[in-house]
Amino acid sequence: MTASTLTNPFFSKRHRAIPSDAPLPNEPVYAKLPQAPRTGSPVPHLTSLYHHDDGGDYGNRGYPGNCGGNLIRDLLTFFRPRMVLDPMSGSGTCQDVCHELLIECRSGDIHAGFDATSSDAMRSLAGDGADFVWVHPPYWRQKLYATDCRDLSRTSTLIQFLERYAAFIQASVQVLLPRGRLVILMGDYIDREVGLVPLVYHTKRLAYEAGLRQSCTDIIRFSHGASSSRKVYGGAIIPMLHDVCMTFERG
């Protein structure tokens, strides 16, 4: 050990405890964001860091896994699609945003008997094709949705989940118009049996295997209001406070 490590406070026992100036669990923390460059974007505040804590008045904020609609609104304003497909609609957040923006939206959910992993079902929902598919799938079994065994959250192993998730991505590719985009909001999570499940990695892997490529930056969405923020974990973990919105187009 050198003299500097001996005198460095981070090496002393006293500083292994929580620092006295650490924020209390319910206290908001304000971080300074990097300055964004000026661009020709119609939505200048839409950057790779989506930090807004207001989800907007869309869908039902009480629905498990509800994602807030402001990010969807900003993406639709940026990409200006003519027809949006929302095949895992949950409480109808995307539908509400489209209604406000006067964009046609066709939606379905396993709760209504619509299975997004079926290419026939996706084709019949999409009709002549969609130029924007928005999807916020289950993060495997982090939250359970329908009792229907076709619900992705009901798959009993990670391999089964990934097979059905791959089927969904392939079905989406089939209904995408040539310059269309598939936009997926997904997050990693810590499973009680498997440990860390890197679903963002798997999403990109499966999308590239289906012939897609990423067409713009990841958008890191800060998870304001997530139910996991209110939990107490016994072990030492690094809490995940974000999920990732990925935009794909044909390769």
Ligand X SMILES: C[S@@+](CC[C@H](N)C(=O)[O-])C[C@H]1O[C@@H](n2cnc3c(N)ncnc32)[C@H](O)[C@@H]1O
Determine, following the binding rule CB under 6 A, whether residue 117 of this chain makes contact with ligand X.
Answer: yes
Q: By CB under 6 A, is residue 152 in contact with ligand X?
A: yes
Q: Does 190 bind ligand X (CB under 6 A)?
A: no
SS3 labels along 132-188: EEEECCCCCCCCCCCCCCCCHHHCCCHHHHHHHHHHHHHHHHHHEEEEEEEEEEECC
For position 55 contacting ligand X by CB under 6 A, the verdict is no
Among 91, 107, 155, 170, indicate the residue that binds ligand X (CB under 6 A). 91
Contact characters 4-33, ligand X, x per CB under 6 A? ------------------------------
Nearest C-alpha neighbor of 139 from the set 249, 247, 240, 54: 240
Task: Please report how close the Cβ of residue 116 comes to ligand X at its closest, in angstroms.
Answer: 4
The count of C-alpha atoms lying within 13 angstroms of the C-alpha of 173, restricted to the half-sphere facing its C-beta, is 18
Please say which residue, 184 or 212, places its beta carbon nearer to ligand X.
184
Contacts 24+ apart (CB under 8 A), 159-162: 162/202, 162/206
For the CB of residue 73, give the shortest distance to ligand X in the complex, in Å: 13
Binding flag, residue 65, ligand X (CB under 6 A): yes
Distance CA 141, CA 52 (A): 27
User: What minimum distance in Å lies between the beta carbon of 53 and ligand X?
Assistant: 16
Position 151 contacts ligand X (CB under 6 A): yes
